[in-house]
Amino acid sequence: MDVKITGGNIRFLIASFVLLLVTHAIAYLTHEYSHSVMAWSLGWMGTPFGIDYGHPTLDNFLFLGDVDDNVNYPPIFASGHGLDAALIALAGPFIGNGLLYFIVYGLIRWTAVGTSRFGTAFAYWLCLMCAGNLWGYVPLRAITTHADIALGAEGLHLSVWALFPFVAVPSLYIVQHFFRRTFPLCQQKIAGGDGNNFILLAALTAFWFFSFFGGDGIGGNYGLISQLLCITSKYLLVPLCMLYLMSRYYGPYRPGRTQPAAASVS
């Protein structure tokens, strides 16, 4: 493979990184706001957007690691409103990220967003952040003693093992939908017909999806099962994802190959 990096590739990488940060912030905040809005609608918070924004540090500004939904769960459980607690806990991943994923995918397919290179790139990265965030919870941090899925299970009076199949099905469906529908739908327009841009797109996709969202449980703070799944995601699935995307979609970018028409994904 003869790779010659151009100024256009550098600009593509920088623009992609900026979009990654912006769309990550959007998906993160819609996740937390879904918790707080649900809690407010059920009478457990005074304001719908009263989340905790954390400390004014560079890391928190870029990645929002200190931002929290600010929902006080113990009084909800203590008062016997477990269903309310479950709805609040599961709203983050499945409304703030899962539902948003399909809304944004629809915008790519059925509106002018899909005809614009910038609009397609913005929507693509937002879809990745939604699907990746959901992946980070289910399956990676679903079999655990705390966080959203564990709270949902407690509220429903189930073990996390009993709840797991019901949350895994929609989560894994969205993951496969992203790689089988959203990526092929968007990759040509985002890369602009440039093979180097495609390689960057595939590498950023694999890293952010399986490494960035696969790192939270790697230290063992979510339990052994979560730790093993996160290690697998971060160190095994990243190269496998890159290999899959390159082997399946890079062919038309090889020298002498004609660029295909825009992908049609039903």
Each residue of 111-120: pLDDT tens digit? 888 789 999 9
Sign of the alpha-carbon dihedral angle for 99, 105, 111, 117: positive
How large is the angle between the packed helices 117-137 and 183-191, nearest 10 degrees? 140
**Other CB atoms within 10 Å distance of the CB of residue 75:** 10
What percent of the chain stands above pLDDT 90?
88
pTM of the shown model: 0.93
Sign of the alpha-carbon dihedral angle for 216, 222, 226, 227: positive
Query: Which of 135, 245, 137, 244 is CA-nearest to residue 188?
Result: 245
Q: What is the mean pLDDT of the chain?
A: 93
Residue 111 has what pLDDT? 84
* Contact status, residue 94 vs residue 170, Cβ threshold 8 Å: yes
Stretch 2-12: mean pLDDT, rounded? 88
* Contact status, residue 86 vs residue 70, Cβ threshold 8 Å: no
Residue 266 has what pLDDT? 35
Backbone angles phi, psi at 68, to 5 degrees: -140, 155
Each residue of 218-256: pLDDT tens digit? 999 999 999 999 999 999 999 999 999 999 999 888 875
Cα separation, 38 vs 46, in Å, equals 11
Helix (H, G, I), strand (E, B) or coil at 52: strand
* Contact status, residue 53 vs residue 67, Cβ threshold 8 Å: yes
Residue 5 has what pLDDT? 86
* Contact status, residue 143 vs residue 223, Cβ threshold 8 Å: yes
* Contact status, residue 100 vs residue 27, Cβ threshold 8 Å: yes
Each residue of 137-195: pLDDT tens digit? 999 999 999 999 999 999 999 999 999 999 999 999 999 999 999 999 999 999 999 99
**Other CB atoms within 10 Å distance of the CB of residue 250:** 17
